[in-house]
Every structure is written in C-alpha cells, then in structure tokens.
Chain A
Amino acid sequence: MGERPFLKIENVNKTFVIGEERVEALHHVDLVVNKGEFVCLIGASGCGKSTLLRIIAGFEKPTSGEVSVYGAPITGPGSDRGMVFQDFALFPWMTVRENIAFGPSQKRELTKDQVRERAESYIEMVGLQKFADRFPYQLSGGMKQRVAIARVLANEASILLMDEPFGALDALTREQLQEELLQIWERTQLTVVFVTHSVEEATLLADRVVVMTAGPGKIEADVRVRLARPRDVSAPDFNEMRRSLTERLTSHVSRRPLRNAA
C-alpha cells in the first residue's frame, strides 16, 4: 500500500510465569496496522488475542519485541490509545457526563468550559443526552458500553482498542452497537483493533481479520475482507467469507482431538 506503518508490532513474545509454570501466551507475533484500518483479532480463548491488545494498550510489557506507533515505541498506557473493555470499566462513582469528561479534564491545556463542551458533544454522539446525569449502576449494558466508547473518543485517542466489547450484550443491542461503531469509525477515521471470538462479528466489521491460534498464541492467517460496506449479513458473499474464516479458525482446533484419538 506504500503507506508508512502506523501501528507496528514486531516480533512480540510474551511469557507469563505462573508459579513454577511458564506459559507462552504470544510467540513471534508480527503485525502492521495502517492508519484508519479496522482490524479484528479473532481466535479461540487462550490464543493470546487479548494479551496482544493489552500489550498495544501498554498495560502489559512484551517479554521481547516491540510495539510502536509511527516508529515511537509504546512504553505504557497513553491517551493516544483508548481501550474499551468487555465489562465496561466505567468509574462507578462518576455520572455519565463525568465519565466522558474524565479524559479531557486530565489535559491541562483545556479550560473547564472546553472540557464540558467536549463531553457534551460526545454524549450527543452516542445519544445519551437524557442519561447524562445518571450513574453507571442506573444504565443498561448497551448504554454503559456507549459511555465507554464516548469516554475514549472524548479523549481523542487515535487508536481504539476493543476487547470483546459487545460480548456481554444481548443480540439486539449488539447489532445496534456494531452499526453505531461503524458509523463512528467512518466519521472519525479512527484506527480500530477489535478482539472478538465471533466470526460473524469480524466479517461484519473488519477491513482485515487476523486469525490467531493457541498454544502458543500466534498469527495463523491475515485475511482482507473485501466486502462492500454497509455489509449484508444475509448476502451470499458474506456467508462465503464467514465460512472461509471459520474454516481457518477451526482447522487448527479440530485436528487436535483426532491426534489424541489416534
């Protein structure tokens, strides 16, 4: 594509030591994500996809290898990368408005009015004007995740990291939020790295689907999804894409019981 690499993951290894045991969570992972791309990491549980996301976020340090943004190595959490967690991780003592204003309020260069203004505009973006003064315990799961997304957007992160963000939501809410996320992504030119275990979700959302396999976690395939947007989940080409991804995902898994049985 001739673009300068935006988010670059180079030869990243991660080994966890749990008691006496050493667990290799990631093995020689290389990945380049271009600016504005929507990349889904997909794989069975234990394939290291969440670990990789946490390393990009700066919450974990790789055992070896490097993650960099425009060549600048990531050394810890930073406001250029925003994480949306599966269980929301909203600050329970803050209202919707305060949660969304939290990132901007940390920036010294913004005045109180600017912080308020920015919070309001993102509250509006996710359609929570009526709920701005509520506490998280008074919200539904879908609303909580909207707040979490708005909180990261209000912080003006350029990379949105999402760790199975819609996994805890009911199907209807999930569909709605997927659609809203795509609209936001198209409007803001964000780069999104999205972890999921749903092939359908990955096919619906991603420009690229990175298939990971477990034991140790590594990248098995990197598939470009060339379906026109907005995508129709009932279209034949969508189904074909989904089937081929499922095959890649399960080919590695289904070999194992056969080998055990032999």
Chain B
Amino acid sequence: MASGTKLVPTPYMVALMMKDFAFGGVYDDAFSGTILTHLFASMQRVYGGFFLAAAIGIPLGLLIGKMPFLRALLDPTLSLLRPIPVTAWLPLSMVFFGLGPRSAVFLVFLGAFYPILLNTIFGVRSVDGKLFEAAAMLGCDGSRMFREVVLPAALPAIFNGLRLGHGFAWILIVVGEMTGVPTGLGSVIMDGRTLSRPDLVITGMIVIGVAGFLCDRIIVAINNRVLRWSPQHHG
C-alpha cells in the first residue's frame, strides 16, 4: 500500500468529492459531474427489478395465500430457495444474463421478490375469514373476489412487503453492479475501491442512502394514501 494514502477520508474530502461528483470542477476526471448518469442507471435497475418482483410476487402471493393446493404445490420449492442468499446467485446470474445490467436487475428482483411474496401470502392468510364469507354471500366470486376483496384486504401486508423489498432492492444494487457494468452507483463504489479512492466510495454510499431514503418516503406517502381507511397501517 502506498504510504500517505488515507484509508478513511476526512468529511471535507468527501464533501469535495460530492461536489465534484455532482457538479464537476474540482478533479475533472471520469467521475466529475456524472451523478445523474449513475443515479438514473441505478434507479432503472432498482425499479426494473423491484416492479418485476411486485408484478410477479403480488399475484402469486394472492393465489398461494388463497388456494391451499397451490400452496402445497409451490411451498417446498419456495422454502428451499428462500434461504439462499441473493449474493450467492451472482455467478449463476452472470451465466444466465451475462455481464451487464440485466444481471443486476435479476439480483434486485430476487432480493425484492421474497419479502413481497411472503408478506402477500401472510396478508391473505391473516384476513378475517368472515370478510370472504360476507363477500361470497353478497354474490362475489372468482376473479372479482381476488380483485375486490382478497387484494384490498391484503394491502396493508403487501405494502409492508413492498417497503422491505424496496429496501433490499437498493441494498442489492451495489452487488448487482459489481458484475462489470460501466454505470450505476454500485459500479462507482467498485471503481472507488479499485482506484483506492475511499472518498469516492463514501460519496457513492451517501447517494445510495439518500436516494433509497427519499424513495422510501414516496412509498410511505403512497401507502398512507391507499390505506387511508386504516390509520394503524400508516408509516
């Protein structure tokens, strides 16, 4: 290790790096003024994976939660796959999707999928059975039952799953972007490591933290709006 290299940068160095990353004009290197490029690249992957996880996890969870035979059919597989850490999928996902953004999206999807799926299943199963009985006696059945009763009744748990999954999505973007993509906040952090620029690493971490936090606030706001009928579930 070169002497004089500071492993932990001062806050001032991080602030300077942040300014350069956002606006340029300090170091004028490959990272100057590129924050939006990297942020948007990461967000595309985070939300690509997240929305894919929601689009599959919520309907699947509703079906598994309501239909015992489907649960019996799928539960062994899901229970077996669940304890495998998402990071352990990295090599396989590179085989499946190659080096690039699709691999990152896949990892984000995996990370967000299980909390969304499991919370949706839990949500359906913990609904007071009388609500389904009430709906049935009022002439509701089939797909209308899913759309008009099962889904809204499970919404508080589903939002719980979405928030958890969303958190994991932002966590996994760094791992996902280790797979040799040129853009994204994860790749910035990896570059910072390779170049021994801890100020860059920490800058990337801060941007991820702030972006994740702000997006979580948006989900909470949507949660509170959609669940306005249940103040106890407000975030």
Contacts and interface: CB of A to CB of B under 8 A. Distances in A.
Interface of A: 57-59, 76-79, 81-83, 85, 87, 89-94, 102-103, 106-107, 135-137, 151-152, 155, 157
B126 to A, nearest CB: 13
A75 B140 CA distance: 15
Given A83-B133, A91-B152, A106-B144, A151 B230 contact: no
A91 B152 CA distance: 9
Contacts of A93: 152-153, 155, 227, 229-230
Contacts of A57: 133, 137
A102 B137 CA distance: 11
Nearest to A108: B139
B134 A81 contact: no
25 contacts: A57-B137, A59-B136, A76-B136, A77-B137, A78-B139, A79-B139, A81-B137, A82-B137, A83-B133, A89-B131, A91-B149, A91-B153, A93-B152, A93-B155, A93-B230, A102-B140, A103-B139, A106-B140, A135-B229, A137-B230, A137-B231, A151-B138, A152-B137, A152-B138, A155-B137
A90 B130 CA distance: 9
A89 B153 contact: no
Contacts of A94: 229
B99 interface: no
B138 A102 contact: yes
Contacts of A106: 138-140, 144
B133 A77 contact: yes
Size bracket of the B interface? 20 to 34
Contacts of B139: 78-79, 103, 106-107, 155
Chain B interface mostly: helix
B133 to A, nearest CB: 5
Nearest to B231: A137
Contacts, number: 71
Nearest to A136: B229
B14 interface: no
A109 B230 CA distance: 33
Nearest to A85: B130
Contact of A79 (B131, B138, B149): B138
A64 B44 CA distance: 60
B35 to A, nearest CB: 40
Interface in B70-91: none
Contacts of A90: 134
B9 to A, nearest CB: 50
Interface in B155-172: 155
Nearest to A134: B229
